[in-house]
Chains A and B, each alone.
Chain A
Amino acid sequence: MKSLNQALLLSALCGAPLAAQAAPAAMSVSVCWIRALPENLPSGGYFKMTNSSGREVALTGVQTDAFGMAMLHQTREKNGMSTMAMVKQVPVPAHGTVSFAPGGYHVMLEKPRKPVTPGMNLPMTFLFSNGQKLTATCEVKSAGAMSGSMSGTISHSH
Chain B
Amino acid sequence: MPDMPWITESAPVLPRGRFRQRRRALLASACAGLLSLGLAGCKSPPKFDGNDITGSPIGRDMAMVDSGGTLRTLADYRGKVLVVYFGYTHCPDVCPTAMAELADAMHALGSDAKKVQVIMITVDPERDSGPLMQKYAQAFYPSFIGLAGTAEQLRKTARSFGVYYAKGPELTPGNYSMNHSSSFYLLDQQGKARVLLPSTAPAKYVIHDIRQLF
Contacts and interface: CB of A to CB of B under 8 A. Distances in A.
Interface stretch (B15-23, B39-47, B150-158, B164-172): B164-172
Interface stretch (A2-10, A21-29, A52-60, A69-77): A69-77
Nearest to A42: B92
Given A80-B181, A102-B93, A143 B99 contact: yes
B12 interface: yes
A37 B93 contact: no
A120 interface: no
A104 B92 CA distance: 11
B97 interface: yes
B67 interface: no
* Interface SS majority for chain B: mixed
A78 B33 CA distance: 37
A115 interface: no
B168 A38 contact: no
Nearest to B9: A104
Interface residues of A, number: 42
Given A81-B164, A81-B179, A108-B92, A38 B100 contact: no
A144 B141 contact: yes
A145 interface: yes
A80 B136 contact: no
A71 to B, nearest CB: 7
A38 B139 CA distance: 7
B140 A42 contact: no
Contact of B171 (A71, A78, A79, A154): A71
Interface residues of B, number: 40
B94 A75 contact: yes
Contacts of A41: 89-90, 92, 136
A86 interface: yes
B9 A103 contact: yes
Contacts of B177: 83-84
Interface string B1-39: 101100101101000000000000000000000000000
Nearest to A41: B89
A81 B96 contact: no
A51 interface: no
A13 B11 CA distance: 46
B168 A143 contact: no
Contacts of A78: 3
B26 to A, nearest CB: 21
B1 A79 contact: yes
Nearest to B51: A80
B94 A103 contact: yes
A5 B200 CA distance: 61
Contacts of B209: none
Contact of B101 (A42, A83, A146): A146
B183 interface: yes
Nearest to B164: A81
A147 B1 CA distance: 26
Given A41-B90, A83-B177, A103-B97, A108 B104 contact: no
21 contacts: A39-B135, A41-B90, A42-B92, A44-B93, A79-B1, A79-B3, A80-B198, A81-B164, A81-B182, A82-B181, A103-B94, A106-B92, A142-B139, A143-B96, A143-B99, A143-B100, A143-B140, A144-B139, A146-B100, A149-B9, A156-B10
The 9 closest A-B pairs by CB, nearest first: A102-B97, A82-B182, A144-B103, A143-B139, A44-B92, A42-B92, A104-B9, A106-B93, A83-B179
